[in-house]
Amino acid sequence: MTTSKSITTSFAHTSTAMDVIKGVDLVGRRAIVTGGSSGIGVETARALASAGAEVTLAVRNPDAGQKAANDITGTTGNDRVMVAPLDLADQDSVADFVANWDGPLHILVNNAGIMASPEMRTPQGWEMQFATNHLGHFALATGLRPALAASGGARIVSVSSAAHLRSPVVFDDIQYERREYEPWQAYGQSKTANVLFAVEASRRWADDDITANSLMPGAIQTNLQRYVSEEELNRLRAGNAPAWKTVEQGAATSVLVAASPLLDGVGGRYFEDCQQAAPAQPGGRTGVADYALDPEAAERLWKVSTDLLKG
């Protein structure tokens, strides 16, 4: 299914989602974008809708989702933009969403997330960032596998972050039961999990012609930073940090992974700035960590996740 050749494109750091989608025809395709009511989720959905896809915004706040859907329809002329409730931290909500989905699914964009939050837990005792960013999307994707398989050549987009460089998945204490909670480390762990999911989903679901890839959208000022102070944001902008992007630029790599013909049959890769990323270098803020692409860690995380969801 995959090739060993690294994927390169004509797009770059400043390319927008609309640049990437130009010339792509998604008429007859169905897509889901989680967190599609704000930030890069809206712009990802807008680009897919502009190419003719039917798009469902899976959101915690349906009113905000409907406002976004109306805006997308207004700018693209595509009236096949729907809204459905989804709270990734609530497994009952995920199960309801899956149960209500009918028919094939061609593109699943796992975009929603929380970042550097104070220590919070789900009713199951799961650390909230891991539960939302990874487990919620894991349950959604595995629940929708039949719909993805039915489409023939489905793609899963797993939105990760350069923050994955902050932490591998610490299997001995994923839920911070024995170690001190640190918001950025916990976020990093969840973002590594997003990469590992794409690696293992592509391997496990190859016979269903399903591919999954992960990506770093870039640094973008959105609601994702609701728990981050201005002082902390300034610190993140300092030093050798890459330039910040607009939301339209931030959605570009998601759209590339979701829709570019260059990625037909390609899975288990990590992208940034619309290119397949190089290995991360010590002390750097770009590239992909070896531990995030480790097939043994990916298989282990899949088993751990499955066991957690079984309760």
pLDDT of residue 240 exceeding 70, the answer is no
pLDDT of residue 234: 64
Is the full-model pTM beyond 0.85? yes
For 11, phi then psi, to 5°, come to: -95, 165
Q: Which amino acid is at 146?
A: P
Query: Taking a C-beta distance cutoff of 8 angstroms, is the pair 213, 157 a contact?
Result: yes
pLDDT of residue 242 exceeding 80, the answer is no
Q: How confident is the model at residue 68 (pLDDT cuts 50, 70, 90)?
A: very high
Q: How confident is the model at residue 197 (pLDDT cuts 50, 70, 90)?
A: very high
Distance CA 183, CA 195 (A): 19
pLDDT of residue 227: 64
For 271, phi then psi, to 5°, come to: -120, 150
pLDDT of residue 220: 73
pLDDT of residue 24: 98
DSSP, res 245: B
Sheet holding 54-59, edge to edge: 81-85, 54-59, 30-34, 107-110, 155-159, 211-216, 270-272, 275-276
Average pLDDT over residues 9-29: 98
Distance CA 122, CA 129 (A): 10
Structure tokens at 49: 């809708």
Catalytic one among 187, 227, 270, 291?
A: 187
Would residue 176 show up in a list of annotated catalytic residues for this protein?
no
pLDDT of residue 144 exceeding 70, the answer is yes
pLDDT of residue 2: 40
End-to-end distance of the chain based on CA atoms, in angstroms? 33
| Residues near 130 by beta carbon (within 8 Å), at least 6 away in sequence | 174, 175, 186, 189, 190, 193
SS3 of residue 279 by DSSP? strand
Do strands 81-85 and 275-276 pair parallel, antiparallel, or not at all (unpaired)? unpaired
SS3 of residue 41 by DSSP? helix
pLDDT of residue 237 exceeding 80, the answer is no
Instruction: Tell me what the pLDDT averaged over the chain comes to.
Output: 94
* Burial bucket for residue 64 (CB in 10 Å: 0-12, 13-18, 19+): middle
pLDDT of residue 3: 44
Give the 3-state DSSP-derived string for 97-144, with helices as H, strands as E and coil as C. HHHHCCCCCCEEEECCCCCCCCCCECCCCCEHHHHHHHHHHHHHHHHC
Helices and strands in the chain: count of H runs, count of E runs: 12, 8
pLDDT of residue 219: 82
